[in-house]
Structure formats: C-alpha cells, structure tokens
C-alpha cells in the first residue's frame, strides 16, 4: 500500500508531505519489526495477516488498495504483550586443562523462544569481573565458538543479550586450568664424579619469583633436591653435582598457584662415571 501524506525531508533543507510506496515501505517494515519483537516466533504468514487486518481505514485509499487503509502500529501489537520468553546457553570446552599458549575452543548452543540463528553472543572471562573476550554470531543452528590462547587459569561464560524480544541468558561458567610451559636443558648428560652440570630453562608465561623444585627419582617416588625462583624473562637454573657413580633421573616441578596449574618438565637423565 502506498504511503499517504507522509512528512519527509526534502532538498534544500525543507520538509514536505509525500505519497507513494517509498513512503510506505519504511513504516510497514518498522511495524513488522515491532510486532516480531512483541510476538517472538510469529510466522511470516501470521505477521502479514496481522498487518493487513489491523489497518486504519482511510477514505482516500478506499477501493484503491487491498485493505483501503494505512498500517496501524498500535492496533498491530494490541492484545499481544511480549510473550514469555525463555533463553538458555550451553558451554563446552575443548579441554579442562591446557598448557599456556595452546589453543582452547569454547563453544555454545543457544536455545530461545523463536529463532536462534544469527543471534549475537559473547564469550566472557572472569578477571576481577566478567569481561568480554569474543563476540560472534550464532550459526543457522544456533551454535557458536571462539578460540582462545590463555596464559593463565580462568573461568569462562557465554552471554546472550536481550535481542528482538528474546530474553537474555548466561551459561554456567567453567574453569580452565592453564599449566605454564617450562622448558628444560641439561648442559651435559654425562659427567665424572665430582663434576657439576647446569639445568636451565624458561617458564612461560614469564613470571618473576615463581618457586620451582628440582626433583630426583628415588625408585619409588620423586624427592625434592633443591628449589629456586624464576628471575627476569621467567628464567631459572639449577647446579647439579655428580656425587656418585650411576644414572640419576631428574625433573623440575611447579606446584601450581592461583595463576597457573601444576606442571612438570620432561625427565632428564644424568650419567655419572
């Protein structure tokens, strides 16, 4: 139906009344969106019927259009309060524990009253408060995912803001434990009795003052030999003496703290001859 006597902007900073489909289109579209927000999930056919059956009669259009009237926003939504809307989000992790710098995929599936496709969702991480780290749009099936490369252990949650009359939703939060990456190098793998070797490496993410423990395998358990703390750039080192002939297995152990989960280096073997 054409618009009739619609006030609109005009060249040379003027306003004027115009008629025609160009005037009707934005108003009909707006009312359609309004009805959709008030009645989530309404079908296209039902929406069309509602718009056509709730027009306001206009004498000048009588006999000239199918309805003989103009779109009426109030009538179109009258008696249709926002329907009870329920929304929910899931959260799945590709892993519950990873090593710093590794890829972590966090996925969600949105369930809402009405369509769940092409809906905005946010991945949030807790760091002194919930903060957005990824914004994506759901797929045709209502799913979405984000890939993160965390350095520290943290809790994650998905969030769906209120959209087109659909209720907001928050997923349950899930914690991902992140182990530091600890490199290790033994300066020599074979020494004579009385000689010393150096075990060194770097902890990532770089943290100064992190306590690391050098452990020795006794045959039944890992026993602490000595400890040290990381310095600038996350570096650390141990000096190991070849005190008696034989083969000894060593590793470096980090017990874990609020920032990172526990971690062990690979085992190194020292032969003393």
Of 109 and 77, the one with more pLDDT = 109
Q: How confident is the model at residue 1 (pLDDT cuts 50, 70, 90)?
A: very low
On whether both 165 and 186 belong to a single domain, the answer is no
| 210-222: average pLDDT | 97
Give the CATH number for residue 188.
Answer: 2.60.40.1930
- 116, part of any domain: yes
Residue 94's CB is within 10 A of a number of other CB atoms, namely 15
* Residue at which a domain ends, from 146, 179, 212: 179
Is the pLDDT at 83 greater than 60? The verdict is: no
**Of 88, 164, 171, 156, nearest to 119 (Cα)?**
164
- 213, part of any domain: yes
Give the CATH number for residue 129.
Answer: 2.60.40.730
On whether both 253 and 213 belong to a single domain, the answer is yes
Is the pLDDT at 2 greater than 60? The verdict is: no
Give residue-wise pLDDT tens across range 91-123.
999 999 999 999 999 999 999 888 899 999 999
- 96, part of any domain: yes
* Residue at which a domain ends, from 179, 211, 240: 179
> What is the C-alpha end-to-end distance of the chain, expressed in Å?
98
On whether both 160 and 203 belong to a single domain, the answer is no
Q: What angle do CA 259, 260, 262 make, to 5 degrees?
A: 145
* Residue at which a domain ends, from 77, 96, 118: 77
- 249, part of any domain: yes
Cα–Cα dist 124/224, whole Å: 39
Of 251 and 3, the one with more pLDDT = 251
On whether both 56 and 101 belong to a single domain, the answer is no
Give residue-wise pLDDT tens across range 144-194.
999 999 999 999 999 999 887 788 899 999 999 999 999 999 999 999 999
Report DSSP state, residue 23.
H
pTM for the model stands at 0.67
Q: How far is CA 115 from the centre of its chain?
A: 21
- 128, part of any domain: yes
**Of 236, 93, 250, 72, nearest to 156 (Cα)?**
93
On whether both 91 and 151 belong to a single domain, the answer is yes
On whether both 148 and 100 belong to a single domain, the answer is yes
On whether both 101 and 66 belong to a single domain, the answer is no
Report DSSP state, residue 109.
E
- 82, part of any domain: no
What residues make up the domain containing 14?
Answer: 3-77
Those residues whose C-beta lies under 8 Å from the C-beta of residue 31, and which sit 6 or more positions away, are 51, 71, 72, 73, 76
On whether both 153 and 196 belong to a single domain, the answer is no
Quote the number of domains for the chain: 3
On whether both 163 and 94 belong to a single domain, the answer is yes
On whether both 123 and 64 belong to a single domain, the answer is no
Count CA atoms closer than 13 A to 234's CA, side-chain side: 13
Is the pLDDT at 84 greater than 90? The verdict is: no
At residue 74, the pLDDT reads 82
On the 0-12 / 13-18 / 19+ scale of CB atoms within 10 A, 216 is: middle
On whether both 165 and 185 belong to a single domain, the answer is no
């Amino acid at each position: 139906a054409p618009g009739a006597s619609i006030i609109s902007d005009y060249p040379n900073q003027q306003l004027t009344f115009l008629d025609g489909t160009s005037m009707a289109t934005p108003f009909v579209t707006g009312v359609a969106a309004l009805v959709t927000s008030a009645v989530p999930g309404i079908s296209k056919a039902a929406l069309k019927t509602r718009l056509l059956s709730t027009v306001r009669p206009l004498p000048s259009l009588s006999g000239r259009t199918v309805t003989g009237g103009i779109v009426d926003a109030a009538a179109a939504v009258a008696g249709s309060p926002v329907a009870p809307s329920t929304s929910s989000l899931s959260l799945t992790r590709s892993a519950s524990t990873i090593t710093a710098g590794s890829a972590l995929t966090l996925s969600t599936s949105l369930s809402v009253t009405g369509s769940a496709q092409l809906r905005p969702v946010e991945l949030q991480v807790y760091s002194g408060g919930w903060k957005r780290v990824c914004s994506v749009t759901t797929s045709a099936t209502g799913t979405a995912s984000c890939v993160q490369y965390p350095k520290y252990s943290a809790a994650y949650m998905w969030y769906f803001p209120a959209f087109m009359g659909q209720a907001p939703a928050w997923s349950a939060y899930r914690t991902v434990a992140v182990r530091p990456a600890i490199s290790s190098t033994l300066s020599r793998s074979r020494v004579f009795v009385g000689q010393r070797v150096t075990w060194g490496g770097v902890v990532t993410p770089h943290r100064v003052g992190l306590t690391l423990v050098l452990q020795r395998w006794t045959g039944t358990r890992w026993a602490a030999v000595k400890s040290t703390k990381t310095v600038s750039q996350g570096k650390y080192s141990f000096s190991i003496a070849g005190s008696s002939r034989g083969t000894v297995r060593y590793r470096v152990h980090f017990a874990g703290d609020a920032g990172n989960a526990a971690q062990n280096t690979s085992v190194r073997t020292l032969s003393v001859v």
